[in-house]
Structure 1
Amino acid sequence: MAVRIVFLGPLRDLAGMAEREAPAPLDWDGLLAAVGPQVAAKLREERVNLACAGRVLADKTALLAEDGEEVALLPPVSGG
């Protein structure tokens, strides 16, 4: 029983991996513990978002990912 965590953009570089698995169910505190201190610090920033099962969470601290779901870590987007 696992949740797949996907690191995107600069968060992938910071984590040193594209994805990893964590035990399900996975909540906010579990996610912070699973990704390591550097990525966890970035996740606490307001501009970094989470998507769970394909939906961006309005309140990322309300994360509750179940077995087989994917949590994507979405870095800030720049553009013009």
Structure 2
Amino acid sequence: MKINVLLFGIATDLIGSSSLTIELPISCNVTSFKELLTKQYPELKQMSSYAIAINESYATDETIIKENDIIAIIPPVSGG
């Protein structure tokens, strides 16, 4: 299944784009998605951590991704 991925902050800089379309297997969870993503884009390993949101809600590692979901990669934010 094809999934749209939105990138924010440093993730955009590392990949060189603010969005991607990637192919995922059916019944893929967030943990598997992260593994597939870092295989395709090893630059993301430079981020110590990042959150995943699916359809504008934060997701856990066990959340199953469905076709037509929109995934956002949200790196840590600092500031004051």
Using the size of structure 1 for normalisation, the TM-score is 0.74
Two-structure CA RMSD over aligned residues (Å):
2.0
Distance 2:23 2:9 in 1: 24
Q: Which residue is 2:9 aligned to?
A: 9
| Cα 1:68/1:18, change in 2 over 3 Å | same
TM-score with structure 2 setting the length:
0.74
Which has the larger share of strand? 1
Gaps of 5+ in 2: none
How many equivalent residue pairs? 75
Match of 1:29 in 2: 32
State the match for 1:55 in structure 2.
57
SS of 1:51 mapped into structure 2: strand
In structure 1, runs of 5+ residues without a counterpart are none
